[in-house]
Amino acid sequence: MVERFVFLCGISSVVIVALIFLFLLRDTVPLFRFVPLAHLWQKRNWYPISEPEVFGVVPLIMGTLWVTAGAILVALPLGIATAIFLAELCPRWLREVLKPLIELLAAVPSVVMGFLGLVLLAPWVKQIFALPTGLCVLTGSILLAFMGLPTIVTIAEDAINAVPNDFRYASLALGATPLQTTLRAVVPAARSGILAAVLLGLGRSIGETMTVMMVTGNAGVIPRSFTEPARTLTATIAAEMGETVHYSAHYHALFFVGFLLLVMTFIINFLSDLALGRGHRVVRK
Amino acid sequence: MTSAAPAIVALDPRRYRRQRVIDRLVAFVLGLCALVVVLPVLGMIGYLVLQGGRLVDWGS
């Protein structure tokens, strides 16, 4: 009885994901009655209420990729360095102070993060880079990096802690210093877990909505640098879904955007699962 | 855990001392990264408390 209940609970989440996938697909397909698939990829603008309507999704995908790439560029070195410091070098008392503070970062609601970005970070970015506005890819990337950091730090630290002590003892016995041991024996052994941490952080960054909507400027054009405004897939859905006419081309185009987002997140999660699985196998050996 | 490094590198004390300096420098940089992650959290809390505090009439 209990086994059956646990099985049902496990299978229900899979069924729910499959249903979400089908639901998005059901409302995406009618879009092709209004516009051909080539239109979505070839157009370089997203003007859903102009006449005729233009549904180029490339600027949205590029906006998402720019913001996410920027976030990873900031979060990757900081997150891995912090995880190594916490796991291997940090005194116990300091670790007990730093860890809750980093985890607190995960508890900050995205709208508060966006609000702080709007009133604190955007004016700094505007002033430092002498821009007409601080609402650009860079501001969004920095905020997303800090939102993804708790995920990266926590999972990477767990991966480093999971490396068997035999690795450390062997390296130290061979004459390596503690830091050489950490950087040349422990971290390479934990690289799959660290990669999974980065990919999960990346997944969080891609799916983030409110913060990017508030600080990236929301211009539906392809950004050419980090100091230009951009519009992401998530922000487009959040900003336009409430105002669109139901079952119009615009409505179905937004479902198509959601479908793209789901596919992108699915690929990233699949890759991180693959990396994590490989990491477990390496540690078991 | 005690490293065998001092015993082995005792044959080359200058190299050992240099390695110790590099180790401390890298550890310092890693610590600095952790600080960079934590400082915005403290700044954020401080800013919200400060701005929220302005709303309250504390009396004079």
pLDDT at B5: 64
pLDDT at A107: 86
Q: Rounded to 5 degrees, what angle do the CA atoms A151, A63, A108 make? A: 30
CB contact (8 A) between residue A175 and residue B7 = yes
Task: Report the pLDDT value the prediction gives residue A42, as an integer from 0 to 100.
Answer: 84
Query: For residue B17, what pLDDT is reported?
Result: 81
Rounded to whole angstroms, how far apart are CA atoms B19 and B27? 12
Q: Which of A77, A79, A177 sits opposite B3 (nearest CB)?
A: A177
Q: What are the tens digits of pLDDT across the range A61-88?
A: 999 999 999 999 999 999 999 999 999 8
The span from the CA of A174 to the CA of A185, in Å, is: 12
Q: Which residue of B has its CA nearest to A172?
A: B3
- The amino acid sitting at A159 is A
Q: Which residues pair with B27 in a beta bridge?
A: none
pLDDT confidence of B11, banded at 50, 70, 90? low
pLDDT, residue A80, reads: 93
Q: Where are the domains of chain B?
A: 5-52
| CA neighbor of A71 nearest in space, from A205, A269, A204 | A205
Mean pLDDT of B10-36: 85
Residues of chain A in contact with residue B33, where contact means CB-CB under 8 angstroms, are 77-78, 81-82, 85
DSSP secondary structure of B1-60: ---SHHHHHTTSHHHHHHHHHHHHHHHHHHHHHHHHHHHHHHHHHHHHHHHHHHHS----
Burial category of A74 from C-beta neighbours within 10 Å (exposed 0-12, middle 13-18, buried 19 and up): buried
Backbone angles phi, psi at A46, to 5 degrees: -120, 90
Distances (CA, A) of A21 to A13, A18, A24: 12, 5, 5
Residues 6 or more apart whose CB falls under 8 angstroms from that of A52 comprise none
CB contact under 8 A, A169 and B40: no
Residues of A in contact with B31 (CB under 8 A): 85, 89-90
- CATH for A46: 1.10.3720.10
Interchain CB contact of A173 with B (< 8 Å): yes
- Residues 1-40 of chain B whose Cβ lies under 8 A from any Cβ of chain A: 1-5, 7-9, 19-20, 22-23, 26-27, 29-31, 33-34, 36-38, 40
CB pairs under 8 A between A and B: 81
Flag residues of chain A having pLDDT under 70. 276, 278-285
CB contact under 8 A, B41 and A174: no
Domain that holds residue A112: 2-284
Q: Which secondary structure element, helix H or strand E, spans residue A212, and what is its range?
A: helix A210-215
Give the ipTM of the model, two decimals please: 0.78
The pLDDT, as a whole number, for residue A270 is: 85
Among A40, A101, A110, A81, smallest CA distance to A250 is for A40
The number of folded domains in chain A is 1
The answer, yes or no, to whether residue B2 has pLDDT greater than 80, is no
Residue A37, token pair as written in the block = 């698939």
Instruction: Say how far apart CA A71 and CA A64 lie, in whole Å.
Output: 11
Report pLDDT digits (tens) over A102-125.
Answer: 888 888 888 999 999 999 999 999
CB-based contact A63:A231 (threshold 8 Å)? yes
Is the overall model pTM greater than 0.80, yes or no? yes
State the Cα–Cα distance between residues A283 and A277, nearest whole angstrom.
Answer: 10
**Does residue A111 sit at the B interface (CB-CB below 8 Å)?**
no
Q: How many CB atoms lie within 10 A of CB A184?
A: 12
- Cα angle, residue A275 at apex, residues B27 and A277 outer, rounded to 5°: 115
